[in-house]
Amino acid sequence: MTILTEQKLTVYYNYVGGEWTESSSKELLESRNPATGELIGYAQNSTVQDVEEAIDSVYQAFLRSDWGYNPKRRYEALLGLAQKMEENLEHLARVLTMEQGKTIRESRIELAGCIDTLKYFAGAARTVFGRSIQLEPNNFGVIVKEPIGVVGIISPWNWPALLMIRELAPALAAGNGVIVKPASLTPAISVEIFKLIDQVPHFTKGIVSIVTGPGRSIGAAMGMSKKIDMISFTGDTSTGKAMMEMAASNIKKLALELGGKSPNVVFEDAHLDKAIPLIGRSIFISAGQICMAGSRLLVHESIKGEVLSRLKDFTEKLKVGNGMYESTDMGPVISQNQLNLVEEYCEIGRREGKIITGGYRIRGGDYDKGYFFAPTIIDDLPSNSRVVREEIFGPVLAVQSFSSDEEALALANDTDFGLSAGVWTTDLNRAMRMSKGIKAGTVWINTYNKNFPEAEFGGYKQSGLGRTRGVDGLMEYCETKHVHFEIDES
Res 490 pLDDT > 80: no
Q: How far apart are CA 99 and CA 185, in angstroms?
A: 8
pTM of the predicted structure, to 2 decimals: 0.95
Candidates 110, 257, 391, 456; catalytic one: 257
Is the same domain home to 471 and 433?
no
**Phi/psi at 400 (nearest 5 deg)?**
-135, 160
What is the pLDDT averaged over residues 380-396?
97
Is the same domain home to 214 and 268?
no
As for how many domains the chain has, the answer is 2
Is the same domain home to 249 and 150?
yes
pLDDT at 249: 84
Is the same domain home to 237 and 281?
no
* Nearest residue to 488 (alpha-carbon basis) of 140, 203, 222, 200: 140
Is the same domain home to 226 and 323?
no
257 included as an active-site residue: yes
CATH number, domain with residue 46: 3.40.605.10
pLDDT in tens, 255-281: 999 999 999 999 999 999 999 999 999
pLDDT in tens, 440-471: 999 999 999 999 999 999 999 999 999 999 99
What is the pLDDT averaged over residues 3-22?
81
pLDDT in tens, 144-171: 999 999 999 999 999 999 999 999 999 9
Domain-located, residue 379: yes
CATH number, domain with residue 368: 3.40.309.10
Q: Residue 8: which pLDDT band, with cuts at 50, 70 and 90?
A: low
Domain-located, residue 457: no
Q: How far apart are CA 360 and CA 368, in angstroms?
A: 13
Is the same domain home to 76 and 195?
yes
Q: Which residues form the domain of 380?
A: 263-452
Rounded to the nearest integer, the mean pLDDT of the chain is: 96
Is the same domain home to 254 and 267?
no
Q: Residue 200: which pLDDT band, with cuts at 50, 70 and 90?
A: very high
Res 88 pLDDT > 80: yes
pLDDT in tens, 217-246: 999 999 999 999 999 999 999 999 999 999
**Dihedral in degrees, nearest 10, Cα atoms 174, 14, 86, 103:** -110
Is the same domain home to 217 and 308?
no
Which residues, at least 6 apart from 450, have a Cβ–Cβ distance to it below 8 Å? 444
Is the same domain home to 269 and 371?
yes
Domain-located, residue 459: no
Res 3 pLDDT > 70: no
Domain-located, residue 336: yes
Domain-located, residue 488: no
Res 5 pLDDT > 90: no
Is the same domain home to 223 and 270?
no
Res 327 pLDDT > 70: yes
Domain-located, residue 458: no
Is the same domain home to 429 and 315?
yes
Domain-located, residue 83: yes
Instruction: Note whether 321 and 362 are within 8 A (CB).
Output: no
* Nearest residue to 373 (alpha-carbon basis) of 297, 449, 310, 286: 286
How many other C-beta atoms can be found within 10 angstroms of the C-beta atom of residue 47? Answer: 19
Res 14 pLDDT > 60: yes
Res 350 pLDDT > 90: yes
- CA–CA distances in Å: residue 327 to residues 94, 111, 283, 373, 394: 15, 19, 19, 17, 21
Domain-located, residue 489: no
How many other C-beta atoms can be found within 10 angstroms of the C-beta atom of residue 159? Answer: 27
Is the same domain home to 321 and 436?
yes
263: β partners? 296
